[in-house]
Amino acid sequence: MKVLVAAQSGFCFGVRRALDMVRTTLAERGKPVYTFGPLIHNRSAVERLAREGALCVEEIGLFEPGQTVVIRSHGVSPEQERLLRERGVFLVDTTCPLVKKVQLQLSRITSSGQFPMIIGKGDHPEVIGEIGYSGGKATVISSLEEAEALPLPLGETGVVAQTTFNPEKFHRIVDFLKCRSPLYRIYDTMCPTTRIRQEDSMLVSRMSDGMLIIGSRQSSNTMSLFERVGRQNPRSYLLEGAGALTPEMLAGVAVVGIAAGASTPDEEITGVLEGIKAARSPEPVEIVWRSAK
């Protein structure tokens, strides 16, 4: 059997940076450190952080003065940050720099008098925080159907994207908005790694009999990857860890492709690879990393 692994699989820069910052904070300030919400959307990674001393707390009102609190990679709204500071905590901000750019762009859009719009998932933590940077004025759309239902803009509308939104969906929506009115001003704030990750994964998918997408259902970029790959390769499976691998997923497959979301730990990818080797033993398994670049 041959296993093709998309080169851009596993932690992205923003996630790795956030994890490194938390571990540095633990070393410098000691245990415990608290994250406001899960640092990343991966249960095993969050559980491992808890064992290391970084505990997840979901409500601002539960923090006490002097505690060390981490703003996660998805960022928070200005109001949430103000409330955290009022609690008297020591703040460590691990917001992804690319998310920061979206936040600042929304502030500029709103202050310039444009109407703010976000293409993304309204219930995603990143988008919730970004709405705050528009003063709560941003309209959020997540599909072409929602874009088609919008009234014609009354003035210039500044459009940004959730960094991990599905690139294919984003461009379909943007193309429609551009055709509908010249008043839409598009600011492409998609994470470039998200695009490269999907390009690599689609290449691997085209070359494979079946696909395994590794990551959490709570991860926006993982689900975006799974949806897009699944449309191209109907024999695609989402695995939330190596324990989810079953013999049926490999039955009759000569070439299996693997891709993973940006919040998927390296050890989960390694675990799936080891699981494939064990399932196909004594047959040799060749592992090849492929990139569209």
What average pLDDT does this structure show over 142-167?
A: 96
Mark whether 156 and 219 lie in a shared domain. Answer: no
161 and 104 inside one domain? yes
Residue 112: name the closest of 141, 140, 134 by CA.
134
C-alpha span between 214 and 259 (Å, rounded): 6
Query: What's the mean pLDDT in 245-268?
Result: 94
Looking from the CA of 269 toward its CB, the CA atoms found within 13 Å total: 22
- Both tokens of 178, joined, read 């551009």
Under DSSP, the state recorded for 40 is S
Q: DSSP letter at 133?
A: T
Residue range 250-262: average pLDDT? 95
Answer for the pair 152, 180: CB distance below 8 angstroms, yes or no: yes
CA–centroid distance for 234 within its chain = 23
Q: Based on the domain organization, do 226 and 153 belong to the same domain?
A: no
Range 235-262 average pLDDT: 94
Among candidate residues 58, 64, 86, 126, the one labeled active-site is: 126
User: pLDDT tens across 191-234, in order?
Assistant: 998 889 999 999 999 999 999 999 999 888 899 899 999 999 99
Same domain, 113 and 166: yes
Number of domains in the chain: 3
pLDDT in tens, 24-43: 999 999 999 999 999 998 98
Any idea what the CATH number is for the domain that residue 139 is in? 3.40.1010.20
pTM above 0.85, yes or no: yes
Identify the pLDDT of residue 241: 85
Domain assignment of residue 74, given as a range:
13-95
Q: Which of 45, 80, 95 is the last residue of a domain?
A: 95
Catalytic site residue 126? yes
Q: Of 186, 218, 245, which residue is a domain's last?
A: 186
For residues 247-276, average pLDDT = 95
Residues 6+ apart with CB under 8 A from 281: none
Tokens of 155: 């003035």
Residue 89 sits in a domain whose CATH number is 3.40.50.11270
Mean pLDDT, the chain, integer = 95
